[in-house]
Chain A
Amino acid sequence: MKIAVCIKRVPDTETRIRIGGDGASIDESGVKFVVNPYDEFAIEEALQRKEKAGGGEVVAIALGPDAAQETIRGALAMGADRGVLLKADKVPADALAVARALAAELKDGGWDLVLFGKLAVDDYNHGVGPMTAELLGLPCVTAVVKLELEGGRGVAEREVEGGMEVVEFALPAVLTADKGLNTPRYPALKGIMAAKKKPIEIKPAALGEARVAVTTLALPADRKAGRIVGEGPDAVGELVRLLRTEAKVL
């Protein structure tokens, strides 16, 4: 099976966010960068599908700065066969621009599956995956938590309000992975060493025009300080009174 996994280098979710000097991006000094957690489910799924199929190739593709090579090597350490870096000093806020660059790389690749994480934990766009699918004219299911593949066809399940949506499609297809799809493996130490020898191709990202501009990035307004209303069940009466008269949510 030939599988492409599109991954993104993002700040670790524990990072304390500081606004950079330009007022429109984060201050990256001291920030730890990791592979987008949702992309790990995509990488793991790709590896499992290749293993189940008894062979093939898993390619990790990232769009980002030079440092994203380390992110790709993480995927190689998990078991991906090779990597591609579409180099861009800054990942644009315009998901369609990113999708365009990815689609240009993926076109004519003969992929059975193209996998993404459902969203990136920095911009929370959940856009690039389905947009790439549209540009490639491929079937797409987003936020997949369960997947079955058999004879060139697939059945995926995704969480919707009040239940699970069951979706059928034919391969090749684009899928975006959600938590619960699988349990991503740790990169084995041997895998970390082997990753050094696997090739990463670097090319410029064909982004085109970006039409979404981040005009400002700011810390959220502080919530008004709250207070402890009291201790134990005796405080319940006061809480209910406050919810009704002050907060007005009752």
Chain B
Amino acid sequence: MAPRFEGVDFYDVGSLLSEEERAVRDTVRQWVDDRLAPVINRHYVEGTFPRELVPEMAELGFFGANLPEEYGCAGLNNVAYGLIMQELERGDSGVRSFASVQGALVMYPIHAFGSEEQRKRWLPKMAAGEVIGCFGLTEPDYGSNPGGMITTAKETKDGWVLNGAKMWITNGSTAQVAIVWAKTGALGDAGGIRGFIVPTDTPGFSAKDQKGKLSLRASDTSELVLQDVQVGKDALLPGSKGLKSPLSCLTQARYGIAWGALGAAMGCYDEALRYAKQRVMFGKPIAAFQLQQQRLAEMLTEITKGQLLVLQLGRLKDQGKATPQRVSLAKRNNVNVACDVAREARRLLGANGILVEYTAMRHLANLESVYTYEGTHDMHTLILGEEITGISAFE
């Protein structure tokens, strides 16, 4: 039985948190150890999402935790929200992805761009885990360039008809509702992109699991196909307008991911350290060897830097000052750091490190997806580059 995770906190970042923030972190931390850790290996190997855990996660308030209490959400501040993501991803990136999608990519746009009626109709049920949602932005040929999407929404007498395909959609095949982004105007006009709440049982809507994944295996990833999907006028998110609407959702999710990646890194570091102290080779624990100490020192340094980075980002976000570029910097850095930490931890674990019994390789594989999604590492580089220099280098 794995020992309880006690955290990695070399610079006493915990003392910069409020009592509630620590309590939130500790609740999720304990839940992950008690409920997620014992089942995640099986789900990862079998390629299934631990759906059975959704009711508990909902009851504890993990979904849309930073949205207001009046919609059945926990009403937490953004640092607390980040801590939830940190601890969930220490459990598994796929499970954290579920929570990110539900909270930041489905509940957030309904809250930010929806009518009051839409908010009241959907948010409480989504907070309660009774309705699962997915976010349909990425397409087979339009990943880093979502503005090029070819999914369309044509206005009809009674509403809209949607046509197109989306890919790499987390929760796609389990969702009851999809937030689909489609072009309402000419295909060349990204300004016509708007968001639609599409129940997944609408005729013409189908979702198919993408098979053969070697990463994020404990997560549903699907293709969505929309063939003459008819929705009513009330499906439109009235406040959505142009590409910046879905991008602002991504900014929310990326914020959570910057914290989450650190959680994975902290878990890998902790496991590697315990192992190094116990594993004896040549008559002493491998922690006594200089090269392993260097590995561990590097990991701890990067984790510590990353922790301070996201804490300040969270405080800025609570002040309304977390610009997309500030979030980009954190996502880019922390995910990169986590990939390195997972890889080095895997190496420190030696042959044992390839077994699912140890978390490093699962995290390593998962983090490759996290590196790629929500804006690839390279895309965030260019976002920062443009912000700093004023010159776009995207094309």
Contacts and interface: CB of A to CB of B under 8 A. Distances in A.
- Direct A/B contact, Cβ within 8 angstroms: yes
Contact of B20 (A32, A186, A188, A193): A193
A193 B75 contact: yes
A171 interface: no
A188 B62 CA distance: 9
Interface string B55-66: 000011110010
Contacts of A188: 27, 59-61, 74
Interface string A27-59: 000001000000000000000000000000000
Given A70-B19, A77-B23, A196-B20, A189 B6 contact: no
Interface string A162-201: 0000000000000000000000001111101101100000
A73 interface: yes
Nearest to B65: A189
Interface string A60-76: 00000000001001100
Contacts, number: 46
A70 B69 CA distance: 23
B20 A192 contact: yes
Contacts of A195: 20, 23
Contact of A193 (B4, B31, B59, B76): B76
A22 interface: no
Interface centre among A14, A77, A192 (most CB of B within 10 A): A192
A30 to B, nearest CB: 10
A77 to B, nearest CB: 6
B24 interface: yes
Given A186-B30, A186-B31, A186-B60, A192 B4 contact: no
B23 A187 contact: yes
A74 B76 CA distance: 17
Task: Specify the main secondary structure of chain A where it touches its partner.
Answer: helix
Interface residues of A, number: 15
Interface in B296-314: none
Nearest to B20: A192
B76 A189 contact: yes
Interface string B24-44: 100100110000000000000
B3 interface: yes
Nearest to B77: A193
A187 B20 CA distance: 11
Contacts of A14: 3-4, 6
Nearest to A191: B61
B23 A190 contact: no
B13 to A, nearest CB: 15
Interface string A65-92: 0000010011001000000000000000
B124 to A, nearest CB: 12
B23 A192 contact: yes
Given A70-B19, A74-B23, A196-B20, A189 B62 contact: yes
Interface in B79-136: 80, 84
A16 to B, nearest CB: 11
B144 to A, nearest CB: 34
B60 to A, nearest CB: 5
Contacts of A73: 19, 23
A189 B76 CA distance: 8
Contacts of A77: 23
Interface of A: 14, 32, 70, 73-74, 77, 186-190, 192-193, 195-196
10 contacts: A14-B3, A32-B6, A74-B23, A189-B60, A190-B69, A190-B75, A192-B20, A192-B23, A193-B69, A195-B20
